[in-house]
Amino acid sequence: VFAGVDVGGTKIEVAVVTAGMELVGVAQRPTNSTSPTHIVAGIADALTEACLVSHTAPLTVRRVGIGVPGQVDTAQGQVHLAVNLNLDHYPLAREVSTAFGVPCVLENDVRIAALGAWHYLWGRERHGRLAYFNLGTGISAGLVVDGNVMRGAHGMAGEIGHVVVEPNGELCACGLRGCLETVASGAAVTRQIEASGLMEILRGYGAETPRARYLYRAAQAGQPEAIALVRRVSRAIAMAIQWLVMAWDPQMVVLGGGLTRTGELFFAPVRAEMAVWRESSSLAATMLPDHKFALLPEAFNAGVWGAALLAMNDGSERQ
Amino acid sequence: VFAGVDVGGTKIEVAVVTAGMELVGVAQRPTNSTSPTHIVAGIADALTEACLVSHTAPLTVRRVGIGVPGQVDTAQGQVHLAVNLNLDHYPLAREVSTAFGVPCVLENDVRIAALGAWHYLWGRERHGRLAYFNLGTGISAGLVVDGNVMRGAHGMAGEIGHVVVEPNGELCACGLRGCLETVASGAAVTRQIEASGLMEILRGYGAETPRARYLYRAAQAGQPEAIALVRRVSRAIAMAIQWLVMAWDPQMVVLGGGLTRTGELFFAPVRAEMAVWRESSSLAATMLPDHKFALLPEAFNAGVWGAALLAMNDGSERQ
H/E stretch holding B104: strand B104-108
> What pLDDT score does A127 carry?
82
Give contacts of A151 with chain B, Cβ < 8 Å.
249
In this complex, the residue of A163, A167, A175 whose CB is nearest that of residue B243 is: A163
> What pLDDT score does B316 carry?
57
How far is Cα B256 from Cα B141, in angstroms, rounded to an integer?
Answer: 10
Determine how β-strand A129-135 pairs with β-strand B2-7.
Answer: unpaired
CB contact under 8 A, B153 and A318: no
> What pLDDT score does A124 carry?
73
> What pLDDT score does A282 carry?
92
Give contacts of A286 with chain B, Cβ < 8 Å.
154
How far is Cα B284 from Cα B294, in angstroms, rounded to an integer?
Answer: 17
With residues binned 3-state (H G I as helix, E B as strand, rest as coil), the percentages for chain B, rounded to 5, are 45, 20, 30
Residues 6+ apart with CB under 8 A from B167: A235, A239, B177, B178
Q: Which of B71, B243, B291 to mutate to test the interface with A (most CBs of A within 10 A)?
A: B243
DSSP assignment letter at B124: T
CB contact under 8 A, A319 and B129: yes
B78 within 8 A of B96, measured Cβ to Cβ: no
B8 within 8 A of B308, measured Cβ to Cβ: no
Give contacts of A282 with chain B, Cβ < 8 Å.
174-175
Task: Kindly provide the ipTM of the predicted complex, given to two decimals.
Answer: 0.93
**Residue B317: φ, ψ to 5°:** -135, 165
Question: What mean pLDDT is predicted for residues B183-200?
Answer: 95
DSSP assignment letter at B33: T
> What pLDDT score does B166 carry?
92
> What pLDDT score does B70 carry?
87
How far is Cα A73 from Cα B37, in angstroms, rounded to an integer?
Answer: 54
Nearest CA-CA distance, residue A11 and chain B, Å: 29
3-state secondary structure labels for all residues of A72-141: EECCCCEEEEEHHHCEEEECHHHHHHHHHCCCEEEEEHHHHHHHHHHHHHHCCCCCCEEEEEEECCCEEE
> What's the predicted TM-score (pTM) here?
0.93
CB contact under 8 A, A248 and B157: yes
Residues 6+ apart with CB under 8 A from B109: B6, B7, B8, B67, B68, B69, B70, B303
How far is Cα A100 from Cα A97, in angstroms, rounded to an integer?
Answer: 5
Give contacts of B242 with chain A, Cβ < 8 Å.
163-164
Per-residue pLDDT of chain A (319 residues; tens, 9 = 90+): 999 999 998 999 999 999 988 999 999 999 999 999 999 999 999 999 999 999 999 999 999 999 999 889 998 999 988 888 989 999 999 999 999 999 999 999 999 999 999 999 988 777 899 999 999 988 999 999 998 999 999 999 999 999 999 989 999 999 999 999 999 999 999 999 999 999 999 999 999 999 999 999 999 999 999 999 999 999 999 999 999 999 999 999 999 999 999 999 999 999 999 999 999 999 999 999 999 999 999 889 999 999 999 999 865 554 4
B247 within 8 A of A244, measured Cβ to Cβ: yes
Nearest CA-CA distance, residue A319 and chain B, Å: 6
CB contact under 8 A, A247 and B158: yes
B253 within 8 A of B131, measured Cβ to Cβ: yes
Give contacts of B319 with chain A, Cβ < 8 Å.
129, 145-146, 318-319
H/E stretch holding A33: none
A63 within 8 A of A314, measured Cβ to Cβ: yes
CB contact under 8 A, B248 and A251: no
Q: What is the pLDDT of residues B206-262, one digit of tens each?
A: 999 999 999 999 999 999 999 999 999 999 999 999 999 999 999 999 999 999 999
Mean pLDDT of chain B: 94
Residues 6+ apart with CB under 8 A from B52: B25
**Is residue B317 scored above 90 in pLDDT?**
no
> What pLDDT score does A72 carry?
92
> What pLDDT score does A70 carry?
86
CB contact under 8 A, A157 and B249: yes
CB contact under 8 A, B243 and A282: no
Determine how β-strand B252-256 pairs with β-strand B129-135.
Answer: parallel
Any bridge partners for residue B65, and if so which?
B4, B105
> What pLDDT score does A106 carry?
96
Looking at chain A, which residue has its C-alpha nearest residue B273? Answer: A167
CB contact under 8 A, B249 and A153: yes
CB contact under 8 A, A160 and B243: yes
The CB density around residue B60, as the number of other CB atoms within 10 Å, is 10
The CB density around residue A27, as the number of other CB atoms within 10 Å, is 21
How far is Cα A127 from Cα A142, in angstroms, rounded to an integer?
Answer: 16
Give contacts of B235 with chain A, Cβ < 8 Å.
167
Looking at chain B, which residue has its C-alpha nearest residue A160? Answer: B246
Nearest CA-CA distance, residue B121 and chain A, Å: 16
